[in-house]
Structure 1
Amino acid sequence: MSRNPLLEHHVLPPFSEIQPEHVVPAIDQLLDDNRKAIEKLTERADRETPTWESLAAPLESLNDRLAQAWSPISHLNATMNSEPLRDAYQACLGKLSEYSTWLGQHEGLCRAYQSLKDSPAYNRLDEAQQRSIDNTLRDFRLAGVDLPADKKQRYGDIQARLSELANTFSNHVLDATQAWHKDIDDVTALDGLPQSALDTLKANAEAKGVNGYRITLDFPSFLPVISFAHDRELRREVYTAFITRASEVGPNAGEFDNAGVIEETLSLRRELAELLDFDTYADYSLATKMADSPQQVLDFLNDLADRAYSQAHQEFSELQDYARASLGLDELAPWDVGYASEKLREARYAISQEQLRPYFPAPGVIDGLFRVVERLYGVQFEEDDNAPRYHPDVRYFRITEQGAPIAGFYLDLYAREGKRGGAWMDECRVRRACEDGRIQLPVAYLTCNFTRPVGGKPALLTHDEVTTLFHEFGHGLHHMLTRQQVADVSGINGVAWDAVELPSQFMENFCWEREGLDLIAGHVDTGAKLPDELLERLQAARNFQSAMGMMRQLEFSLFDFRLHHELSAPSAADVQDLLTEVRTQVSVLPAVDFNRFQNGFGHIFAGGYAAGYYSYKWAEVLSADAYSAFEEAGIFDPETGSRFRHEILEPGGARDAADLFRAFRGRPPSVEPLLRHSGIQAA
């Protein structure tokens, strides 16, 4: 058999050696090895009372070996997508789902963990080990370990199919995004677009060997057109292509339609929940979250909606009045809202994202990000040019403390073909104590889709992109600054999903303060700091349309939660009707009947946020309140930074998120700092 790099131990993935033909044989081999080893573990547990060293530690090692092989495959599928890799990835999803179900329903393994839990040895384990055992026993129940054989089989079939459907959904969105473009020869048709956007569209065209400018549905291309193009018909055309992606309408109608994927996904999720004796998938989802009940989530979302709706309605009325008086738009269509908002922002605050770009060259922003983290937590950063990488744009950094490495991360900032949209953090390696006594250091993937550098100049980021980078790096710090040595509760593992956004949203705050911006911002040509006048305008504009923005997030959250709580086997029409109903309740923005937002809602149909999108708002309450401690003490106060690292970042999932927050803040969370930061008057 030829050498397979995925079966070998590497500190970092050997990206240049990994070929699509390695994927299936490696996963088959690892799954077979794991099954045999787990049977031996359970046989031993039947003969003698299991201990951490005889049961949990070797199982963790098996899981980690599999994760180290799958991590680069999954990441390459998301960032360097190709047909051969996609096929290999798809071929493994069912195998991994089947293995996960087999593991979760393994009665002998469950019995062994229960025996360990009931033994005197359990009380001598540390907090993280106990938490890992408790979570594992909970997860056995959630995987259907107690079900009769026929229902176990059905559970496994459902999970395998859901895994395939999520991948299909994601592929459809990626394919639909890449299937549409519009080439423009005459630059006057793009009047209003800033030079940075024109450079991007020109680079798009050059990359495809065509003249002029190419508009695509990738965000660095789509957003400037919808925000700045004077040509209303062009905005309408691009908006229509974007909002109908992967649906039965629009320019690629029916070609990548996700409607059937959504219908089957929702039906199977409901069936899965009912198999496990949950009333709805929302109830099942909350079994591992901070929130206690669906009603608590709905009350939370509706309360925020009640507090923000009046102000959101007022903000939209002001936008309509401005568009009518200054732009000649008697009635705002959805493709006008972003354009009119940019014009009103400039008129009111004399500031735009484009004005700020020269102050945020990507290299300076990255350096500033590191300096912010250094001041908060006392760690340092160094780049490693020799680390294996998967694309020339990708960089690798180590985090050190007192000269010793404690973590590492890959930074992949720019949009490109074959890379799925959005921004995310994912695990490459998790911090854990290996069986030989070594500490495996955590490594993260930090991925964004910013506008690429063109013409030999550094990429100039918008302030929105800067906050996105800080957000994802907050997730990365949660993963990388953990002190846990048990993989199940290390970093973001074991953290309640509705608390996992706390460290990420917390980091965004430093992009708005003079002390933070002095480290982040420097003019691309002169290095000059952001002038006081621009900073004042930026801060004044921070809460521009903040209530409208909050209502938009609440619309998504309520749609997601009600979808998984109220509807059992909805048709595509039922899904559309519910979205329309939610919009009627909370949205102040215009909508069109061909809007198929749900067909591209990857967070809930191809990510981990099903019946959990509310987590963004839930965690925003936590993050705003946590940051208010820094406002009280000084935003770079070392004692407060040390406490945040110790009480929030380092514990990972070893303790309840609510307990960690109370330990840091000295009290339960309050919604008032979020309303204050958002400029929303408390009702």
Structure 2
Amino acid sequence: MTQTPLPEHPPTAEPAPLALPDAAGARAWVEARTAEGFARVRELVARLREARPADPLTVLRSWDEVSLALSDVAAVGSLWANVHPLLEVRTACERAEVEADRLGTELRQDRGLYDVFAALDPAGLDPEAARLLDKTLQDFRRAGVDRDHATRARLAQIEERLTELVQDFGRTIRDDVRRVRVPADRLAGMPQDWLDAHPADADGLVTVTTDYPDAVPVRMFVHDPQVRRDVTVAFLQRGWPANEPLLTELVALRHELATLVGFPDWASYDAEVKMIGAGARIPEFIDRIAAAAEEPMRRDLDVVLERYRRDVPGATTIDAADAGYYEELVRKEQLDVDAQQVRTYFDFAKVRQGLLDVTGRLFGLRWVEVPDAPVWHEDVTVYDVYDESDLHDGADPDSAVPGERAQPASRRIGRIHLDLHPREGKYKHAAQFTLADGLVGRQLSEGALVCNFPRGLMEHSDVVTLFHEFGHLVHHVLAGRARWTRFSGVATEWDFVEAPSQMLEEWAWDAGVLRGFATDAAGEPIPAELVERMRAADDFGKGYQARQQMFYAAMSYWFHTDRPADLTGRMVELQQRYSPYAWIEGTHMFASFGHLGGYSSAYYTYMWSLVIAKDLFSAFDPGDLFAPEVALRYRHKVLAPGGSRDAADLVEDFLGRPYTFDAYAAWLAR
């Protein structure tokens, strides 16, 4: 029995409602949505099992419907589990995630389904459909579909437990907000607007939390070294001791899963589907970056230590409690950049609007606020996204459907949600969450940006972070006209996904770009010469920052490869080998290293992507970052294809050559 092919252009779905007035209603909505999605999946799967002999394209379309239904359930669950203000709703969403993962594992281990796909003849499929078939068969094999019943059962148990552990690990970090109470007179050095927002209590004490808007400026600006140390230690102790046994179990189960499906370790299993290709290449890459950063690290670290020794005679090392403060002193005293002056140009509201203006102009987009859109919290702002790019000859470069003509100008292509301030129970880092995978003629792309920025003045580093994270959202939206769910949005190899975001950071460093929104209280734009000094100051320390990143990358790799019994001891060893900073006794940074949940052994991704990002940026004219020819070519050749081609091929198509290490090496050395 064969299925009727899905219609090529059914009505485009509206974005799903995401808010209900009370906890019971929200929980019921999540549970009903999950049940409906699973029922749809099982109905489609039942039809698929009967689909033989079958037309390959019909089977793939049906499987894509399964993927879409699962994705829609898991996406809302993943977002709300991290942002919803009500605990019982977050808990319901975590259950929905577990159930979706359980069902996904069940399907990937279904030998009858696998046989349907294995029997398909790829001859006659277009390259993208053939790619989908190949990736689908790989997914089945990686799930252990070819193993015996007992092994498949154990793999299913492991997968479910891994989902729970990652949730527990992240929840512990999210909920573990530590507080340091400090006499008001010991906060000398802090910006006045921060002090105004943190009045002393009846005991004359100011509460400093470990949330970023508190911890980062305190560690940068407070003159009192003991206050800096107390806040730093609290920050580095988040998640401990609760997360240590969770992480130990997590890496052990990942290793067991990998070996059960034929890999020597988790890193090898994980790397198979990434650009790097092999787990053994990860430590080689880490050491290559560490070697390239050695001389720049020593050069700049000596400057910081020299300044530190003026206050602490005889010091030979510096640790994280003092590093940020003394780096800031060097930038202020020797490089003439005062971060407290710089931040007066970066009011949050103006930065947010400036970001929308910059990305709209760069990519041919228009962001239209939807003030009455349902949201999960009053802090969230919602925008519909309209495409206003010049499509020249009428062919739509974003469309993956051969021969499709351009739709009318200013068509709506998606919706975004910005949730940018910290609150209790919310995700503590910064990330883009998918809400809906965009499919051409089927469903609009929808995503959310979740960050933790101050409501008033921002550090410039926060501005850079906002540009970076928004880059993921742009990528998700622009790659939302896919033919297949599997390739929609940020669906490239995982060690490439950071490259477009890292490249977008460059626009947060350009004086001409910043003048459009970086203005002080009097409305004066940030001076170009100040931006030039900021750039020079940012270059200072990039060697030891790269080494710090390699410490994190080494920890993520070796924790999964060695599976040490003493996580703190192994962390200290790796910190001594790679990091420029001495370990602070009694701290356990790994317990709040949230990337160990999602990125597992692949934190090297950030630096791998940065190498590519520097090469991508070399194609742009630094004198005109908005030049439409290169910007739209980048949009159409790198962002819009999503995961429909290998990332290396997308980059080569844009650059006209394979990417190289050269641009990164030149940047690091200068």
Q: Do the structures match in fold with TM over 0.5? A: yes
The alpha-carbon distance between structure 1 residues 89 and 383, as it changes in their structure 2 partners (threshold 3 A), is closer
Question: Helix, strand or coil: the match of 2:412?
Answer: strand
Letter in 1 for 2:602: G
- Is the Cα contact below 8 Å between 1:625 and 1:670 reproduced in 2? yes
- Is the Cα contact below 8 Å between 2:81 and 2:91 reproduced in 1? no
Specify the alignment match of 1:156 in structure 2.
156
1:262-301 matches, within 5 Å, as 262-301=247-286
Runs of 4+ in structure 1 over 6 Å off: none
Specify the alignment match of 1:651 in structure 2.
641
2:419 is matched with which residue: 412, 415, 438? 412
Residue 623 (structure 1) shift: 0.5
- Is the Cα contact below 8 Å between 2:550 and 2:604 reproduced in 1? yes
More helix by share: 1
1:520, 1:674 → 2: CA distance? 29
1:610, 1:81 → 2: CA distance? 27
1:425-504 matches, within 5 Å, as 425-433=432-440, 438-452=441-455, 459-482=456-479, 483-493=481-491, 495-504=492-501
Letter in 1 for 2:485: A
The alpha-carbon distance between structure 1 residues 469 and 630, as it changes in their structure 2 partners (threshold 3 A), is same
- Is the Cα contact below 8 Å between 1:394 and 1:413 reproduced in 2? yes
For structure 1, the residue ranges without an aligned partner over 5 or more in a row are 1-8, 249-256, 453-458
- Is the Cα contact below 8 Å between 2:345 and 2:519 reproduced in 1? yes
Residue 119 (structure 1) shift: 4.8
1:514-593 matches, within 5 Å, as 514-523=511-520, 525-565=521-561, 567=562, 569-571=563-565, 573=566, 575-593=567-585
Q: Deviations over 1:47-85 (max 9, x none)?
A: x313423x2323323432343344233212211243312
1:214 is matched with which residue: 194, 207, 217? 207
Letter in 2 for 1:663: D
Question: Helix, strand or coil: the match of 1:591?
Answer: coil
The yes-or-no answer on 1:100 pairing with 2:104 is: yes
Question: Helix, strand or coil: the match of 1:193?
Answer: coil
1:126-165 matches, within 5 Å, as 127-165=127-165
The alpha-carbon distance between structure 1 residues 188 and 168, as it changes in their structure 2 partners (threshold 3 A), is same
Letter in 2 for 1:544: F
TM-score using structure 2 length: 0.90
Residue 89 (structure 1) shift: 3.0
Letter in 1 for 2:486: D
Specify the alignment match of 2:430 in structure 1.
423
Specify the alignment match of 1:4 in structure 2.
none
- Is the Cα contact below 8 Å between 1:506 and 1:624 reproduced in 2? yes
Letter in 2 for 1:594: G
Residue 633 (structure 1) shift: 7.8
1:380 is matched with which residue: 366, 370, 388? 366
1:50 is matched with which residue: 35, 48, 55? 55
- Is the Cα contact below 8 Å between 1:101 and 1:156 reproduced in 2? yes
2:272, 2:421 → 1: CA distance? 37
- Is the Cα contact below 8 Å between 1:267 and 1:570 reproduced in 2? no
Question: Helix, strand or coil: the match of 1:173?
Answer: helix
Specify the alignment match of 1:662 in structure 2.
652
Residue 243 (structure 1) shift: 0.9
Specify the alignment match of 2:297 in structure 1.
312
Letter in 2 for 1:229: V
Question: Helix, strand or coil: the match of 1:631?
Answer: coil
TM-score using structure 1 length: 0.88
1:353, 1:392 → 2: CA distance? 30
Q: Deviations over 1:83-111 (max 9, x none)?
A: 31243234334422321111111122222
1:189, 1:517 → 2: CA distance? 34
- Is the Cα contact below 8 Å between 2:215 and 2:231 reproduced in 1? yes
- Is the Cα contact below 8 Å between 1:93 and 1:160 reproduced in 2? no
Question: Helix, strand or coil: the match of 1:282?
Answer: helix
1:111, 1:322 → 2: CA distance? 67
Q: Deviations over 1:534-589 (max 9, x none)?
A: 12211221212111101000111122112223x1x432x1x333322222222221
- Is the Cα contact below 8 Å between 1:101 and 1:143 reproduced in 2? yes
Specify the alignment match of 1:245 in structure 2.
238
Specify the alignment match of 1:235 in structure 2.
228
2:228, 2:122 → 1: CA distance? 66
1:601-612 matches, within 5 Å, as 601-605=593-597, 607=598, 609-612=599-602
Residue 195 (structure 1) shift: 1.5
- Is the Cα contact below 8 Å between 2:188 and 2:222 reproduced in 1? yes
Specify the alignment match of 1:620 in structure 2.
610
Letter in 1 for 2:568: Q
- Is the Cα contact below 8 Å between 2:57 and 2:125 reproduced in 1? no
* Most deviating of 364-373 and 636-645: 364-373
Residue 668 (structure 1) shift: 1.7
For structure 2, the residue ranges without an aligned partner over 5 or more in a row are 1-12, 388-408
Q: Deviations over 1:296-337 (max 9, x none)?
A: 222222111111112212322221111122576846443111
- Is the Cα contact below 8 Å between 1:50 and 1:115 reproduced in 2? no
Residue 187 (structure 1) shift: 2.2
The alpha-carbon distance between structure 1 residues 315 and 64, as it changes in their structure 2 partners (threshold 3 A), is same
Residue 133 (structure 1) shift: 1.9
- Is the Cα contact below 8 Å between 2:76 and 2:435 reproduced in 1? yes
* Most deviating of 266-275 and 315-324: 315-324
Specify the alignment match of 1:640 in structure 2.
630
Residue 144 (structure 1) shift: 0.8
Specify the alignment match of 1:631 in structure 2.
621
